[in-house]
Structure 1
Amino acid sequence: MYAAAGANARACSRRGRSLILPLRPLAWPAVTIRLGHSHEADDVFLFHALTAGKVDTGDLQIEPVVLDFQGLNDKASRGELEATTLSVHAYAYARKHYRLLRSGWTFGEGRGPMIVAREAMTAETLAAASIAVGGVTSSAYLAMTLWNPRARTRVLPFDKVLPAVETGLVDAGLMVHEEEMALELTGLVCVHDLGEWWSGKTDGLPLPLGSVVVRRDVDEDVQRQLHKAVSESVHYALANRQEVVTAVRGTVGGLEADLADDFLGRYITDLSLDIGDRGQSAAEEFLRRGCETGIIPDSLPLEFAPSAAAEPSSSARDGARS
């Protein structure tokens, strides 16, 4: 489509001659996508390239919305953002609004969210312990409830969980994987690793923790562009690890380089580029067990956004911007 004033070309008279001026293609306005993500190290690592302008987003204008994971899960349950990171557990409550991307996931490979206490506990003592939790839609919470459906929980603000354990307000606390780096600073001990438990129960499947979703009403060509941008951001982070770890430390603060690098290496892997059959099987098993136990509504089959690279057609672009 070309811009012209009343015709496909504009003729200018100059000394009796007509000058045909070249026409410029009409540029489509950028499509704004509000992308929700947390301020935790893994999300900052995954989306650094995307938010720092190191990835070509085409005609997408990415607008970061930074909240804690519970706030993001709550917004997703109402379909408020065009795209967001989302606890895999919370997908069960947001499925009607969103499709999953195949890129941008986090998994625990034989390690994951932990139940921590002031001292070691026997299995019997732990089964009867009071456990502080920071949110009931985290994947850590679903994993804990699958492990012990009768767990005695006490919901506290996210940042009050570990202090509650330290002061004896509760017997134990559910530490989401993002808090793992702080464990050695607290003096608390891990009494149960839910990622290890899950691996043993599923013949070695990784524990699905976080995903990225895009709202269903977003044009499918835009969904493809977003998937491509997220995938390239993850690829950039893995290929430029030290640069991005340094950026993470600058954003999150208080992280030792080796500790941050080790943590990110455990939870962001090739499955973060594309979950593949193994990652998808893990997510399906996680949600299936949650439904069968009566914890969450049925959320299968998983529904994915289109991810094949495709140049948006002019008609689709017209529809996206009308």
Structure 2
Amino acid sequence: MSSLSVAYSPCPNDTFVFHALAHGLVPGAPPVEVTFADVDVTNTAAEQGDFDLVKVSYAALPWLLDTYELLPCGGALGRGCGPLLLVNDDRTDLTGATVAVPGDRTTAYLLFRLWAGEKQPAKVEVVPFHEIMPGVAAGRWDAGLVIHEARFTYQNHGLRSLVDLGEWWESDTGLPIPLGAILARRGTVDPAAATAWIRESVRQAWADPAAGREYVAAHAQEMDPAVAEQHIALYVNEFTADLGDEGYRAINALLSRAAAAGYTPSVPALTAPQA
């Protein structure tokens, strides 16, 4: 059986979800070759069709759906897990501000643009995620948009949350926050089979969380085990196993609002695959 090229981030939620698949523990699944890359990298690499299975931002889907199909599992979507806009002073708005963001096709940046509306900052800079919090703390940028486990650690940098974009999204729409999607390359991967493999990998992770602990710790950017466990508990949830109707409503709401604002190309409404 030929191997599959798979790309996901080194973050604890991804390594937790994919541990069994990556280690050949899913019956019937092919061997996989894993590339670790932050989502801002995979958003661009996926446009070239570089991977068979890939984790990307939901905000990047309008540029990828010709090449890839959205899978109904394995990604990150939920409540109370949205991006934060951090500052190191007492500012209440972004007038004249320079804002650091982790990628121009990330869901975090799309939510930020939708939230800001006509009051966009003076300047936006795309920078590596790990530089954002120390850079804002040092005054390099006036504000920074953060994701992942930063929501648990930003106080350690003396920073303050100006807005929780997840809370804003949930209060505005009543829907969960669609963050990261798993895509299967059209013509090379059977999406139904890939869905079954990933769901079994998730099932094993939940059944025996300790099995993947070493794998999670080896790749985590934040090495505190307690933070990694918080990260997994927040981002790996019922939507990871199955997006369901509510998950698809959230995705379609995000993409339709983005297209209406002129931030992304429009795409047809996404629906769950037929059983």
Query: What is the TM-score normalised by the length of structure 1?
Result: 0.78
Cα offset, 1:159, TM superposition: 3.0
Q: 2:266 maps to which residue?
A: 298
- On the 8 A contact 1:89/1:137 being kept in 2, the answer is yes
Greater Cα shift, 146-155 or 236-245: 236-245
> Hey, what's the Cα distance between the residues in 2 that align with 1:85 and 1:224?
17
What's the offset of the Cα at 1:250? 3.3
- Please say if 1:71 is aligned against 2:41: yes
Structure 2 CA distance for partners of 1:253 and 1:290, relative to 1, 3 Å: closer
The worse-fitting range, judged by mean Cα deviation, of 47-56 and 125-134 is: 125-134
Q: In the alignment, which residue of structure 2 is the partner of 1:241? A: 209
Q: Distance in 1 between matches of 2:195 and 2:168?
A: 32
1:151 aligns with 2:124: no
Structure 2 unaligned blocks of 5 or more: none
Bigger RCO of structures 1 and 2 (CA < 8 A, at least 6 apart): 2
Which whole-Å CA distance do the structure 2 matches of 1:151 and 1:235 have between them? 42
Q: Which stretch of the first structure deviates more once superposed, 210-219 or 268-277?
A: 210-219
- Counterpart residue type for residue 139 of structure 1: T
Structure 2 counterpart of 1:14: none
Q: Percent identity?
A: 31
Q: Summarize the alignment of residues 130-149 of structure 1 with structure 2, pairs less than 5 Å apart.
A: 130-149=98-117
CA contact (8 A) 2:78 2:237 kept: no
Alignment-derived partner of residue 214 in structure 1: 184
Find the counterpart in structure 1 of residue 19 from structure 2.
48
- Distance in 1, matches of 2:232 and 2:209, equals 10
**Is there any run of 5+ residues in structure 1 with no aligned partner, and where?**
1-29, 309-322
**Cross-structure match for 2:8:** 37
The answer to whether structure 1 residue 191 and structure 2 residue 162 are counterparts is: yes
Q: Deviations over 1:3-56 (max 9, x none)?
A: xxxxxxxxxxxxxxxxxxxxxxxxxxx132111111122211111111122222
Question: Is the Cα contact below 8 Å between 2:88 and 2:136 reproduced in 1?
Answer: yes
Query: How far 1:241 moved relative to its partner?
Result: 2.7
Among candidates 115, 133, 137, match of residue 166 of structure 1: 137
Instruction: State the Cα distance separating 1:93 from its structure 2 match.
Output: 1.1
**Is this contact kept in 2: 1:110–1:198, CA < 8 A?**
no
Alignment partners' CA distance in 1, 2:211 and 2:154:
25
Over 3 Å counting, the alpha-carbon distance change for 1:64 and 1:100 in structure 2 is same
Paired residue for 1:105? 75
Q: Do structure 1's residue 201 and structure 2's residue 146 form an aligned pair?
A: no
Q: How far apart are residue 251 of structure 1 and its match?
A: 2.9
Distance 1:259 1:163 in 2: 18
The alignment of Structure 1 onto Structure 2 pairs a total of residues equal to 272
Equivalent position amino acid for 2:6 in 1 = L
Q: Decide which of 58, 81, 87 is 2:57's aligned counterpart.
A: 87
- Map Cα deviations across residues 140-162 of structure 1 (whole Å, 9 max, x no partner): 01110110134222222333222
Which has the higher Rg, Structure 1 or Structure 2? 1
- Compute the displacement of 1:263 (Å): 1.9
In the alignment, the residues of structure 2 paired with residue 293 and residue 253 of structure 1 have an alpha-carbon distance, to the nearest angstrom, of 34
Q: Any idea what SS the aligned residue of 1:177 has?
A: coil
Question: Shift of the alpha carbon at 1:127?
Answer: 5.3
Per the normalisation by structure 2, the TM-score is 0.91
Tell me the C-alpha RMSD between the 2 structures: 2.0
Find 2:194's aligned residue among 207, 226, 241. Answer: 226
Structure 1 residues 116, 86: closer, same or farther in 2, change over 3 A? same
On the 8 A contact 1:131/1:151 being kept in 2, the answer is: no
Equivalent position of 2:229 in the other structure: 261
Distance in 1, matches of 2:132 and 2:230, equals: 24
Per the TM alignment, residue 247 of structure 1 is displaced from its structure 2 partner at its CA by: 3.5
Write the distance in 1 (CA, Å) between the matches of 2:217 and 2:85.
Answer: 26
Contact 2:78 2:239 in 1 (8 A): no
Give the whole-Å Cα distance in 1 for the aligned partners of 2:184 and 2:138: 41
Instruction: Report if the CA contact (8 A) 1:127-1:148 is conserved.
Output: no
